């Protein structure tokens, strides 16, 4: 697989003096599903924001060997505009890019249909459940056809069943569109289920301590969560996470 | 059932109070220049209708002009504050000073500056000063309360400052602005009347002047009539602005949702 982006010695110290990440080296390959796992305050979110170009690193740089692709971002909260209905929320990226309204509406309607909300275009965020709001947020991210999707603990606030169904839908969308995903999570099981590769980070300042490749079956389902293959992957991530924590202590 | 009670209970109480008032004034023979009976006040509405109508129109016009002016300048300055911290640091203390200095104390100065021949303008300025600050303060707060993550998302998609303001900050500030408008509408009315008192008699012929004049001549029933009109004006402004708030927020804002369900 070719390299999509790489972080070289990226450090970030905030104005408050907090050092979020120190000398982070990370390569992300085109088409992979990469999870960043680590305890709170290990700078996972900061790393995502640096990759998105929303904040500048204090030191180091982000390299894009074949240019910076279209990027989508999904936050922990659905982060919708309450005064816009689902369709107009999903349309936002296209609108900001200056795409003609009819075209933008068609594309965002299609994006809503793909996350299973085809019937809910006119619903306002307050009329939707937490899981549905997160689906609108994902529809908004994929409406602009990103090649890289950055997700910052997107399903952390959802119940287990909703989370599993969103996990499956996300895998399907990413595979269909050939999207590279960088997924930040606290959950060992979620990362074991979703990822081709899991990178474990130490607490503040964040550094990579383990890089775990997972050979995933093409077709994952509820039954997969019960296989030795899955539990083995979860076990390796868990061990690496425990190791990272003990180093910090 | 509940909705029916919302209107019938206060109306019934009002009628009962008026009836008791009418009876009490006759029964204890309260002098007319202390407390006139409701029927005498009603008579004043008929007898003084031309003067009351002209005074109402004058006050109403000043209130509306001051309110619109406060709305435009308050929102414009709030947008400027939200765009530039330096402008806010420079101007905000003076906006506060203007707000906390009692309007009644500023009034004579403003009247002298604009001249007695332009007393309308003095009233407008004074009503504007009191109505302006809630709009400025609340809209500034609203513009600053935009979701940080949404701002990041706008930036990610290359939005301009103007797009962030127009599509994110202003819609988000709307509930704050509408709340401030309800306060400012009432304040504009208070400002206009207080300014008339401060300006004294002369070329000002609004409801404030009517109350002063009627008081001087012990026409207490005319004072009550003017007071009643002021209350109705105040309530009408409040209801109109509440209706506007409801119309603009009913689809999405929590304040409107709870009323709907």
Walk across the sheet containing A180-185 and list its strands.
Answer: A71-74, A148-152, A180-185, A33-37, A197-201, A208-213
What is the percentage of chain A residues whose pLDDT exceeds 90?
75
Average pLDDT over residues A163-183: 94
Q: Residue B227: is its pLDDT beyond 80?
A: yes
B153/A71 CB distance under 8 A: no
Same domain, A171 and A243: yes
Same domain, A201 and A237: yes
Same domain, A159 and A57: yes
Peptide bond preceding A205: is omega within 30 degrees of 0, i.e. cis? Answer: yes
- Could you tell me the residue range of the domain that residue A168 belongs to? 3-69+147-248
Question: Which residue in the set A81, A83, A93 is minimally distant from B157, CB to CB?
Answer: A93
Pick one of 1.10.150.240, 3.40.50.1110, 2.60.120.560, 1.10.3720.10 as the CATH number of B38-260. 1.10.3720.10
Closest CA to A178 of A27, A2, A30, A7: A30
Kind of pairing between the strands at A19-29 and A71-74:
unpaired
Tell me, yes or no, whether A74 lies in a domain: no
Same domain, A102 and A187: no
Mutation site for A-interface testing, chosen from B153, B162, B168, B173 by largest number of A Cβ within 10 Å: B153
CA distance B71 to B128: 9
Give how many domains chain A has, as a whole number: 2
Q: Domain boundary at A145, A162, A196, which?
A: A145
Under the banding of pLDDT at 50, 70 and 90, the label for residue A117 is very high
Residues 100-129 of A with CB under 8 A from B: 124-126
Same domain, A44 and A84: no
Average pLDDT over residues A159-177: 93
Mutation site for A-interface testing, chosen from B147, B152, B157 by largest number of A Cβ within 10 Å: B157
The CATH number of whichever domain residue A213 belongs to comes to 3.40.50.300
A82/B252 CB distance under 8 A: yes
Same domain, A153 and A215: yes
Same domain, A155 and A244: yes
Q: Residue B67: is its pLDDT beyond 50?
A: yes
Output the pLDDT for position A209: 85
Q: Residue B60: is its pLDDT beyond 60?
A: yes
Tell me, yes or no, whether A136 lies in a domain: yes
Question: Which residue in the set A92, A95, A126 is minimally distant from B252, CB to CB?
Answer: A126
- A28-32, A85-89, A158-162, B194-198: least confidently modelled range: B194-198
Residues 131-190 of A with CB under 8 A from B: 144
Same domain, A87 and A134: yes
Walk across the sheet containing A59-63 and list its strands.
Answer: A19-29, A3-13, A59-63
Same domain, A190 and A233: yes
Q: Residue B204: is its pLDDT beyond 70?
A: no
Buried b / exposed e along B200-239 (16+ C-beta atoms within 10 A): eeeebbbbbbbbbbbeeeebbbbbbbbebbbeebbeebee
Average pLDDT over residues A215-231: 84
CA distance B19 to A67: 83
- A42-51, A88-97, B146-155: least confidently modelled range: A42-51
Q: Domain boundary at A116, A145, A174, which?
A: A145
Q: Domain boundary at A130, A145, A160, which?
A: A145
Same domain, A17 and A91: no
Same domain, A32 and A131: no
Q: Residue A41: is its pLDDT beyond 90?
A: no
Q: What is the ipTM of this complex?
A: 0.92
Place of tokens 């995502």: A48
Q: Residue A249: is its pLDDT beyond 60?
A: no
Element (H, E) at A59: strand A59-63
Tell me, yes or no, whether A75 lies in a domain: no
Tell me, yes or no, whether A46 lies in a domain: yes
> Using one digit for the tens of pLDDT, what is the confidence trace for B124-163?
999 999 999 999 999 999 999 999 999 999 999 999 999 9
Do A184 and A35 form a contact (C-beta atoms < 8 A)? yes
A79/B251 CB distance under 8 A: no
Output the pLDDT for position B258: 57
Output the pLDDT for position B80: 95
Asked if A82 is an interface residue toward chain B (Cβ–Cβ < 8 A), one would say: yes
B152/A97 CB distance under 8 A: no
Residues 183-222 of A with CB under 8 A from B: none
Tell me, yes or no, whether A42 lies in a domain: yes
The string of DSSP codes covering A112-171 is HHHTT-GGGTT--GGGS-HHHHHHHHHHHHHHT--SEEEEESTTTTS-HHHHHHHHHHHH
Do A207 and A22 form a contact (C-beta atoms < 8 A)? yes
Q: Residue B202: is its pLDDT beyond 70?
A: no
Pairs across A and B, CB distance < 8 A: 51
Same domain, A179 and A56: yes
Question: Which residue in the set B149, B168, B252 is minimally distant from A75, CB to CB?
Answer: B149
Mean pLDDT of chain B: 90
Output the pLDDT for position B261: 46
Output the pLDDT for position A221: 78
Average pLDDT over residues A25-44: 90
Give chain A positions within 8 Å (CB) of B245.
Answer: none
């Amino acid at each position: 697989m070719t390299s999509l982006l790489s972080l070289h010695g990226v450090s970030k110290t905030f104005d408050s003096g907090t050092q979020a990440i120190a000398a982070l080296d990370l390569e992300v390959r085109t088409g992979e599903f990469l999870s960043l796992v680590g305890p709170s305050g290990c700078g996972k979110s900061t790393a995502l924001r640096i990759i998105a170009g929303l904040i500048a690193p204090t030191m180091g740089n982000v390299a894009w060997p074949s240019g910076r692709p279209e990027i989508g971002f999904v936050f922990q909260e659905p982060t919708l505009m309450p005064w816009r209905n689902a369709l107009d929320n999903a349309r936002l990226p296209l609108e900001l890019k200056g795409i003609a309204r009819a075209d933008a509406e068609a594309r965002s309607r299609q994006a809503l249909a793909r996350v299973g909300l085809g019937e809910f275009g006119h619903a306002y965020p307050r009329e939707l459940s937490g899981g549905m709001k997160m689906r609108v947020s994902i529809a908004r991210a994929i409406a602009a056809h990103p090649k890289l999707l950055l997700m910052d603990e997107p399903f952390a606030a959802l119940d287990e069943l909703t989370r599993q169904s969103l996990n499956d839908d996300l895998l399907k969308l990413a595979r269909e569109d050939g999207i590279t995903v960088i997924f930040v999570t606290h959950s060992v099981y979620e990362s074991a289920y979703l990822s081709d590769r899991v990178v474990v980070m130490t607490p503040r300042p964040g550094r990579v301590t383990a890089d775990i490749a997972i050979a995933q079956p093409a077709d994952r389902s509820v039954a997969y969560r019960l296989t030795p293959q899955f539990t083995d992957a979860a076990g390796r991530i868990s061990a690496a996470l425990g190791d990272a924590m003990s180093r910090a202590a | 059932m509940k909705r029916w009670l919302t209107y019938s209970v206060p109306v019934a109480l009002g009628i009962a109070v008026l009836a008791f008032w009418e009876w009490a004034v006759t029964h204890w023979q309260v002098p007319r220049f202390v407390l006139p009976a409701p029927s005498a006040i009603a008579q004043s509405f008929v007898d003084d209708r031309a003067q009351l109508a002209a005074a109402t129109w004058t006050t109403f016009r000043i209130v509306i002009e001051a309110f619109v002016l406060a709305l435009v300048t308050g929102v414009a300055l709030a947008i400027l504050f939200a765009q530039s911290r330096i402008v806010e640091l420079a101007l905000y203390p003076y906006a506060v000073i203007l707000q906390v200095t009692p309007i009644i104390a500023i009034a004579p100065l403003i009247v002298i500056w604009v001249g007695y021949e332009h007393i309308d303008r003095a009233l407008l300025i004074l009503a504007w000063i009191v109505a302006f600050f809630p709009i400025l303060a609340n809209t500034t707060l609203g513009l600053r309360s935009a979701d940080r993550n949404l701002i990041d998302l706008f930036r990610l998609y290359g939005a301009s400052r103007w797009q962030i303001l127009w599509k994110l900050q202003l819609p988000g500030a709307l509930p704050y602005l509408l709340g401030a408008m309800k306060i400012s509408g009432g304040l504009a009315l208070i400002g206009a009347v207080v300014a008339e008192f401060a300006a004294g008699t002369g070329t000002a012929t609004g409801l404030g002047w009517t109350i002063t004049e009627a008081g001087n001549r012990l026409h207490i029933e005319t004072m009550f009539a003017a007071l009643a009109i002021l209350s109705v004006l105040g309530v009408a402004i409040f209801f109109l602005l509440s209706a506007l708030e409801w119309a603009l927020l009913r689809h999405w804002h929590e304040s409107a949702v709870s009323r709907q369900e």
